[in-house]
Amino acid sequence: MQPDDRFDDHPGDPLDRLLGLERFGIRPGLDTIRRLMAALGDPQAAYPSIIVAGTNGKGSVAAMLDGALRAAGYRAGRYTSPHLVSITERFTVDGGAIDQAALREEAAGVLRQADTLLRTGGLAHPPTFFEAATAVALSWFRRAAVDVAVVEVGLGGRLDATNVVTPAAGVITSIGLDHREHLGDTVEAVAAEKAGIVKPGMVVVTTETAPPALAVIDDACRRRGARLVQAARDTEVAVREDGPRPRIEVATPRRRYPVFPLGLAGAHQRANAAGAIRLLEALADVGLPVAPEAVVRGLSEVAWPGRLDLVRVPGRGAVLLDAAHNPPAAAALARHLREAFPGRLPIVCAVMRDKDADGIVDRLAPCASRIVCTSPRNPRATPARALADRVRARAPGLPVTADDDPRRALQTAWSTAETICATGSIFLVGELLAALRPRRAT
């Protein structure tokens, strides 16, 4: 074991130890998680799973699936990442996040097994934070006796720790270039990594429509004996009443749904809704039927904080929080801003150093009356002044300022408008939600 792989197996707070594993960074591969799950008795085999991969939209789709399954009467578990404010957000059963005591207990069990495997040579190195967190989720779901688990992929798919599950069904949302250092520099390479979740016999729904990525996903399904459903094919999503929560009517090859309000804002959520509905329909083929009224209720009541999330801060104003952290997500946000705020509004922006800041700025600048650059408390964050220099280079003539404190950056933006936007990083959104305790606008 290398010195930087030392694993502290001394007694301590299990939650602190779990969070401390973040120092090991990202280590793609399935060997560690498979060995760890085997030592835990393979809890992921105790219930059927639905896996959700993709570049953008997978968290929203996971939330829709979870809501509809619960509306249908299933005891559903949901594992997502990253979290906004508290690590407990990653693990939910029946719509409720795990409590601190249960999380500590589950983490203690996972870490004990990791300790034993390291001492006996069963593991070559300690688990990463994400591997251990995935083990915690899958173990807790067994303890909680879920009927079904919705599992969101963390990074890629093929070598992601969540790929230890053998899913009954899965969704691959839109594909874009992100995490290039791990997934590749072409859409085809990224799609191949995402399609790594495909297992023999499962049904796979995709919301992707671009031919190069679709061809890769289709090839993976054919080679592995999985059934592919293209959500956009033979599915009509019509807007019957526009607004912050548009009322939509959805027709698929199986049925036509009554008009209902979609719980998540943004035109891109209609494609995500189509993907979720086609997957929910297909679940009947694997013994998990979901009635149409449960589909409608789940998608009407779904909430996914920090994604086109308009909140009101008492005494200040409103802020539209969106965790758009790559150019496709920024493009979706920009479309919403053009429709909802055609007169432009101030944008508070932060971007991590490993993200495409220029691509994000290029899409957001035309919607901004000014940009206030900031930097959340994260070692990966681009310093506010460095980001401001990038913005000035990409959008000459646009007023740009910088403030390393996100809360002060908000105040600067609010000094010129009652409603503002904060975006560019999920870490910025999470820090603001924790600091401001805002109220959802209606």
Q: What is the mean pLDDT of residues 39-66?
A: 96
Identify whether residues 282 and 330 lie together within a single domain: no
Q: Work out the pLDDT band at 7, boundaries 50, 70, 90.
A: low
pLDDT at 2: 43
Tell me which residue of 9, 56, 23 sits closest to 330, measured CA to CA.
Answer: 56
Same domain, 240 and 367: no
**Which residues, other chains included, contact 389 with Cβ-Cβ below 8 Å and sequence gap of 6+?**
none
**Enclosing domain of residue 170:** 3-301
**Residue 210 shares a structural domain with residue 288:** yes
Q: How far apart are CA 247 and CA 262, in angstroms?
A: 6
Of residues 242 and 72, more confidently modeled: 72
Class of residue 314 by CB neighbours under 10 A (exposed 0-12, middle 13-18, buried 19+)? exposed
Q: 258 and 365: one domain? A: no
User: Which H or E run includes 440?
Assistant: strand 439-440
Query: Among 91-105, 231-245, 319-333, whose mean pLDDT is lowest?
Result: 231-245
Average pLDDT, the chain: 92
* CB contact at 8 A, 80 and 54: no
Which residue, 301, 329, 345, sits at the end of a domain?
301
Q: What pLDDT, on a 0 to 100 scale, did the predictor assign at position 255? A: 95
Look at residue 441 in the predicted model and tell me its pLDDT: 52
- The CATH number assigned to the domain holding 351 equals 3.90.190.20
Least reliable range by pLDDT among 144-153, 225-234, 235-244, 296-305:
235-244
DSSP 185: S
Write down which residue in 276, 301, 326 finishes a domain: 301
Among residues 312, 440, 330, which one has the least CA distance to residue 394? 330
| pLDDT computed for residue 180 by the predictor | 55
Q: Is it the case that residue 87 has pLDDT exceeding 80?
A: yes
pLDDT at 184 over 80: no
Cβ-based neighbours of 437, under 8 Å, separated by 6 or more: none
Same-domain check for residues 281 and 345: no
pLDDT number for residue 1: 41
Is residue 285 pLDDT above 90, yes or no? yes
| Model confidence at 3: pLDDT above 50 | no
What are 344-385's pLDDT values in tens digits? 999 999 999 989 999 999 999 999 999 999 999 999 999 999
Question: 272 with 327, same domain?
Answer: no
Does one domain contain both 166 and 250? yes
Residues 73, 201, single domain; the answer is: yes
SS3 state of residue 321: strand
Residue where a domain terminates, one of 301, 327, 351:
301
Q: pLDDT at position 179, please? A: 57
Counted domains in the chain? 2
Shared domain for 219 and 170, answered yes or no, is: yes
Q: What is the mean pLDDT of residues 210-215?
A: 94
Q: Which CATH number is 178's domain given? A: 3.40.1190.10
pLDDT at 256 > cutoff 90 = yes
Instruction: Please say whether the beta carbons of 132 and 22 come within 8 A.
Output: no
Q: Are residues 288 and 334 in the same domain?
A: no
* φ, ψ (nearest 5 deg) of residue 209: -125, -15
Q: Are residues 186 and 44 in the same domain?
A: yes
Same domain, residue pair 55 and 192: yes
